[in-house]
Amino acid sequence: MMPDRSKSIIEALDHMREAIASRLDGGKSEAERHPGDGSAADLPFTTFERFIRSPLTGGVERVLAFNNDEHIRLVVPDRILNLPNPTIEDLLSLGEDELPYFSSHGPLTDLYGNAPRGTWVSTTFPLGVESLAASLTWPGVEDVPFPYDQPPLGPPGETEKVKGHGYSKQAYYLNDEDYFVTIGPSLPRIAPLKNGNAQFWVGSIGIIAVGYGKFTGARGISTYVGSGYVENWHVGSLADQIQTLNRGFRAMIGTYVKFVEEKHLADADGG
């Protein structure tokens, strides 16, 4: 039988890293270093947890780190998309159930870009008109007064430049049975580039609100930091910008999750 061969340089480097890690761990196998029940459902935990070596977990807290390879698009009502020259006033006329929102989907990957089979992320981020306009504003040096370890955050009114955010809902599927959903604030920003394109960033922080499988009853928090390259960004043309965002773009996201499983949590009454 011929030995397994790596299909890419990244995969070969990953195999080398595993071999070195095994030697450093006294020759233990991956399963021995991260004991599980041996089922396929246990694979994503070990895949995403093996990169973390935190001395502060105390054997209770679990820490996962992974990336999301997502396609993000701005969902906008057709009646706005079909206007030849939509304006801010047109957006302001939308009802609460019509407001634009970012929607994204894609697989989870390890830190090397490998996507375990069955992983998935689905997120939504409602975007008010004020948030859309604020996504192009940035605070300046004068907006963040020294010293930095005490209030105020900035001159009255100026801190609004970093307060324009919405709340996101993010579902992370490690497989069909083990997944969790977080909710919390998100902050998007866009920087137009000289080449006619734009750089997009979004940061989110969320608490685990719903958990299934291994995440049932879990308590914890996640951070989500991503970026994307948006082609054909038309400075000064709201209509073209909406069309560009509606078509969507690829975004690479880094996600970091710290949580405690239900079996380690005390009851609400202290039991």
Question: How do the domains of the chain map onto residue ranges?
Answer: 10-55, 64-264
pTM: 0.77
User: Which pLDDT value is given to residue 152?
Assistant: 74
* Nearest to 265, CA basis, from 212, 210, 198, 219: 219
Q: Point out which residues pair with 74 in neighbouring strands.
A: 102
Beta strands in the chain (DSSP E): 61-75, 101-106, 108-109, 120-126, 166-173, 179-192, 198-212, 219-230, 249-260
Predicted confidence band at 181 (pLDDT cuts at 50, 70, 90)?
Answer: very high
pLDDT of residue 29: 42
**pLDDT tens sequence across 1-44:** 444 555 556 556 555 555 554 444 444 444 343 333 445 556 78
**What mean pLDDT comes out for the span 196-213?**
94
203 three-state secondary structure: strand
pLDDT band at 86 (very low <50, low <70, confident <90, very high): confident
Q: Under a CB-based contact definition with an 8 Å cutoff, are residues 262 and 217 in contact?
A: yes
CA angle, 257 as apex, 255 and 259 as ends, to 5°? 170
